[in-house]
Amino acid sequence: MTDIEKATVDAPASTGEGLDTRLLVERGSFRLDVTLSAAPGDVVALLGPNGAGKTTALRALAGLVPLSGGHLRLDGEELDRTPPESRPVGVVFQDYLLFPHLSALDNVAFGPRCQGATKAESRARAAEWLARMGLTDHATAKPRRLSGGQAQRVALARALATHPRLLLLDEPLAALDARTRLDIRAQLRHHLADFEAVAVLVTHDPLDAMVLADHLVVIEDGHIVQEGSPAHIARHPRTDYIAHLVGLNLYRGEAEGHTVRLDGGPGITTEEDLSGPVFVAFPPGAVTLYRERPTGASARNLWRCEVAGLETHGDQIRAALTGQLPLAADLTTVAAAELDLYPGATVWATVKAAQTHAYPA
Amino acid sequence: MISRSPGRAGAADTLAGGPRRRRVLKGVRAGAPLPLLLPALIGLAFLILPLVALLIRAPWRSMPHLLTSTEVWQALQLSLLCATAATAACLVFGVPLAWLLARVEFPGRGVVRALVTLPLVLPPVVGGVALLMALGRNGVVGKWLDSWFGITLPFTTWGVVVAEAFVAMPFLVISVEGTLRAADPRYEEAATTLGASRFTAFRRVTLPLIAPGVAAGAVLAWARALGEFGATITFAGNFPGRTQTMPLAVYLALQNDPEAAIALSLVLLAVSIAVLAGLRDRWMTAS
């Protein structure tokens, strides 16, 4: 867990700008313990499987779930006991939760109105936000008349209109269809780049996280398992969940020079010269399959496997293999046909040492 | 549906194919068994016949004369006024009570809900006696109302309102609570994150969302208040122009002027039908 910045846990950052928090929430047998810190302008993505506690963390930040322990400081201000309506926090909910009886304009004006602005002022501010989102034409529309993408932008405008110092987005793109998603993701990225305070978004989609965030926090089972920049995490996954998300084969073992002995498995020859516990990762595309044992001596990473399943993956075929080394291999449709692959077929898999990547665990 | 004979269904059976045939068969099955059909028809007749009899026996010719008498007008006005006032009281106290039951977890919530529902099943006369014990001149609370504020409720028009509200409020509370439970509480959370206090969230978000349920509950409560008899006559008495509402007038008229009683009953029947028509979107099309 060297990636986790333990320093922020102990350091008294009470006067620091931005977000500094340790969220402890206990609910029955579930325990969430997440430490986050971010500077103004940062976009942090909480990434994790369903039930990992991402949404609970977000609700705790918003004050909708009480903290069982820890602390929450925003721009140096203690917010642990502040009720949600008094927190300078804006939330974009997963299904937006636009008030169905109010027009887009009045939805956006709701926040300023609650903060004490007059009706006219609130509406003027709301109109400004809608204009910024390119929604002026839809100001009078009720939410049910808005498309998914429009509703998402109204929800974002509504959250931003209160000038929050912490913006929370719960699966901001999950409710959109694939085409709108691409578009809205680009727009959201643009709006988040403009946002000068801290933004925290929750997603289970690695692409959303990588495109939108500059810092990734991966949560599994209530705990942070890895954090860092998207590029770093994509290259150095530390759990099967992340490896699967970023599409890598991942193994853990003990390195001795160029050989990594896997826990209860075969060895992998790597380019890196390491010692001690390490991770080894390689992409499915680096795997070459043969039906007969290849005679060439070059591939030292050679394993006898069995095809467990086949599925299309983009314009390729991804084969799930079991046997000496469980792994995923990508091959072209033509190659799959020529090899006559079917579940249960025996294959030989090789990976060049140069295409593996080993790093300390 | 019930009149569809097996022969016709058989013909349709051979002619129409697929989904249509299935629908016809379902219709036959739904209407066919005699042990169910017969009691159903008797039950239906039992409910409708008295109302038809009322229409048959109505003194249509003397109707205009009967309905324009001062007493009838007085009773009708008093009824509408008291029922409306009682409904207003139900709204003011009942909607917050429904919110409390639906949204706030507190120990003994089940017991409180049962107590709220009690007037629904309590004989109204018992309700009237209970109100006398509580708010009567020597009642538990009424004693103080009388000596401190000089307020006397029994046998006054306000007494009618109190009796009607007591009987009608459960209808409103149950209707509104049901709507609140069905409404997504996350809208309130969304409002909270936008800076709304819980009360503002209720007023500006929840209340508009549950407005149809509140309206339906109010209509139900109003109809129940309008027809109130037992609690009213026990708690407020039967003084023309002061506490004599339509149901009381009907009962009294039946003793000495049956034709007038029928005429008054018809007015109440018309009001009931109007209420049903007003609620038809909510209940009659629900099935």
What is the chain A residue with the closest CA to B184? A97
User: How many residues in chain A?
Assistant: 361
How far apart (Å, rounded) are the C-alpha atoms in residues A110 and A91? Answer: 13
Provide the pLDDT confidence category of residue B286 given band limits of 50, 70 and 90. Answer: very low
Q: Tell me what the pLDDT averaged over chain B comes to.
A: 84
Interface contact A158-B186, CB threshold 8 A: no
How far apart (Å, rounded) are the C-alpha atoms in residues A157 and A238? Answer: 37
First-last CA distance in chain A = 8
Q: What is the pLDDT of residue B281?
A: 63
Domain count, chain B: 1
User: What average pLDDT does the segment B105-115 reach?
Assistant: 92
- B229 is a domain residue: yes
How far apart (Å, rounded) are the C-alpha atoms in residues B28 and B47? Answer: 25
Interface contact B191-A99, CB threshold 8 A: yes
Which pair of structure tokens corresponds to residue B165? 């509200």
Which pair of structure tokens corresponds to residue B286? 């629900």
Provide the pLDDT confidence category of residue B2 given band limits of 50, 70 and 90. Answer: very low
H or E, element range at A44: strand A43-47
B209 contacts on A by Cβ (under 8 Å): 99-101
pLDDT tens for each residue of B73-106: 888 889 999 999 999 999 999 999 999 999 888 9
Phi, psi of A71 (to 5 degrees): -150, 165
Q: What is the pLDDT of residue A10?
A: 41
- B277 is a domain residue: no
A87 contacts on B by Cβ (under 8 Å): 193
Interface contact A64-B197, CB threshold 8 A: no
- In chain B, positions 202-221, which contact chain A (CB-CB < 8 Å)? 204-205, 208-209
Domain range for residue B119?
66-245
Is A176 within 8 Å of A148 (Cβ atoms)?
yes
Q: What is the pLDDT of residue B116?
A: 92
Q: How far is A267 from chain B (nearest CA, A)?
A: 53
Which pair of structure tokens corresponds to residue A117? 């602005």
- B168 is a domain residue: yes
- B14 is a domain residue: no
Looking at chain B, the whole-number percentage of residues with pLDDT higher than 90 is 49
What is the chain B residue with the closest CA to A98? B187
Interface contact B209-A64, CB threshold 8 A: no
pLDDT at B140 over 60: yes
Name every residue in A having a CB less than 8 A away from some CB of B: 62-64, 83-87, 89-91, 93, 97, 99-101, 110-111, 114-115, 158-159, 162
- B260 is a domain residue: no
Interface contact A85-B196, CB threshold 8 A: yes
pLDDT tens for each residue of B236-285: 988 888 888 989 989 988 888 888 888 889 888 888 888 888 777 655 44
pTM: 0.77
- B32 is a domain residue: no
Q: What is the pLDDT of residue B59?
A: 85
B195 lies within 8 A of chain A by CB? yes
The CATH number linked to B203 is: 1.10.3720.10
3-state helix, strand, coil in chain B (%, to 5): 75, 0, 25
B187 lies within 8 A of chain A by CB? yes
pLDDT < 70 positions in chain A: 1-15, 296-299
User: What average pLDDT does the segment B150-154 reach?
Assistant: 86
- B30 is a domain residue: no
Which pair of structure tokens corresponds to residue A171? 């699966």
Phi, psi of A10 (to 5 degrees): -90, -30
B61 lies within 8 A of chain A by CB? no
Q: How many CA atoms lie within 13 A of B278 on its CB side?
A: 16
- How many other C-beta atoms can be found within 10 angstroms of the C-beta atom of residue A32? 23
Looking at chain B, the whole-number percentage of residues with pLDDT higher than 70 is 86
pLDDT at B6 over 50: no
How far apart (Å, rounded) are the C-alpha atoms in residues A103 and A359? Answer: 54
pLDDT tens for each residue of B19-39: 444 455 555 455 578 888 999
Helix axes B258-279, B207-226, angle to 10 degrees: 170
User: What average pLDDT does the segment B183-200 reach?
Assistant: 93
- B19 is a domain residue: no
Q: How far is B214 from chain A (nearest CA, A)?
A: 15
pLDDT at B17 over 50: no
Is B222 within 8 Å of B84 (Cβ atoms)?
yes
ipTM: 0.79
How far apart (Å, rounded) are the C-alpha atoms in residues A281 and A288? Answer: 15
Which pair of structure tokens corresponds to residue B211? 């407005």
